[in-house]
Amino acid sequence: MTFDDLHIGSILVSTVRNAPVLIFAGMAGLFAERSGVIDIGLEGKILASAFVSAAVAFTTQNPWYGVMAGILVSVLLATLQAYVAITQKGNQLVAGIAINIAMSGLTFVVAQYIFQQGGRTPDLGTARLFDVVLPGSAAVENIPFIGWLYAHLIGGHSVLVYLAFGLVPLVHWVIYHSRFGLRLRACGENPHAADAAGVSVERQRYFAMIIAGVLCSFSGAYLAIVQSGFFLRDMSAGAGYLALTAMVFGNWRPLHTFLGCLMFGFFGAVQIQIEGVELPVVGRLPGALIQMVPYVLTVIVLAGLMAKSVAPKALGTPFVKSR
């Protein structure tokens, strides 16, 4: 394949398919951190929900049972994380990293014990969530550009893709235009003022962490039941950390975080497309170098924007009720 063979249409479709993992995790982190809790444990919750979703979907041959099981395990982990960070006033970074490390090893061990396939689950086959074909796709498919736009870029995706993109305006409305969102932001900016106004800061933060657990589970389910069709050790490949970076890039705002997720999804799509391609001047790049692209971009984004990003003022600070 040469550089001229790269098709921008394939890159755009891949971007749409790559972005949901980051969108779900990014919106999950947004709820947690807007309430004042650092959620660095996104990676671990993604891995846990991916494994449980794949295992239950394979066992029951029903992908929706897998999605529900993934929600359950992710919410349990989020509740445990909330208990350590909110009730016990523990170090929020340590709690999140502990979940990440534990889930990286535990999912592999349990998968190996149950399925005996080298730490992965069997292929899901018909238990996967398959793509949705929009009405009229066949009729317009041969129309230049319109057919591709309707049948492939807009249509032809899993229901979780549409859920991810539809989630963004909903999260924006909840955070900025609902009573719950007002209280959530108050807890993240000035929890003592929120407490004085009669808001239960701890309860609000627990709600935020549970919502984050639900949303994060969709990232894992999407990886296992839609993209791959099986669970593989550490298959999240840093998606939780990329989502956190997108959140910093978006300055803890839903729409801007969404754009950050699309950016990382785009570069992930480009990474896949340029493997084995003869590029002008540099020729064919080594695969390991190409795989570094999203992570190098993460470092650049953090180095360039961290000083300009304004986090919630009480982020990472345990709330101690005034007497």
- Give me the residues of the chain with pLDDT under 50, please: 1-6
Q: Is residue 274 part of a domain?
A: yes
Classify residue 320: in a domain, yes or no.
no
Q: What's the pLDDT score for residue 152?
A: 81
Instruction: Name the residue range of residue 110's domain.
Output: 3-124+144-305
CATH number of the domain encompassing residue 96: 1.10.3470.10
DSSP line for 48-93: HHHHHHHHHHHHHT-HHHHHHHHHHHHHHHHHHHHIIIIIS---HH
How far is the C-alpha of 82 from the C-alpha of 206, rounded, in Å?
6
Please give the structure tokens belonging to residue 297.
Answer: 């971009």
Residue 316 lies in a domain: no
| Nearest one of 8, 2, 11, 4 to 284, comparing CA atoms | 2
State the pLDDT at residue 323: 63
Res 35: pLDDT: 94
Quick check: is 47 in a domain? yes
- Residues 65-84 have pLDDT tens digits of 999 999 999 999 999 999 99
Write down the pTM of the prediction. 0.91
For residues 69 and 117, give the distance between their C-alpha atoms in angstroms, rounded to a whole number: 21
Q: Flag whether 148 is in a domain.
A: yes
What is the number of structural domains in the chain?
A: 1
Predicted local distance difference test score (pLDDT) of residue 119: 86
Name the phi and psi angles at 119, rounded to 5.
Answer: 85, 15
Residues paired with residue 283 on neighbouring β-strands, in sequence order: 279
Q: Is residue 132 part of a domain?
A: no
What confidence score (pLDDT) does residue 167 get?
Answer: 95
* Chain segment 100-111, per-residue pLDDT in tens: 999 999 999 999
Domain for residue 233, yes or no? yes
321 occurs within a structural domain: no
Question: What is the model's pLDDT at position 3?
Answer: 38
Predicted pLDDT at 226 = 92
Q: Do the bridges between strand 278-279 and strand 283-284 make them parallel or antiparallel, or are there none, so unpaired?
A: antiparallel
3-class secondary structure, 243 = helix
Question: 129, 120, 125, 126: which is closest to 226 by C-alpha?
Answer: 129
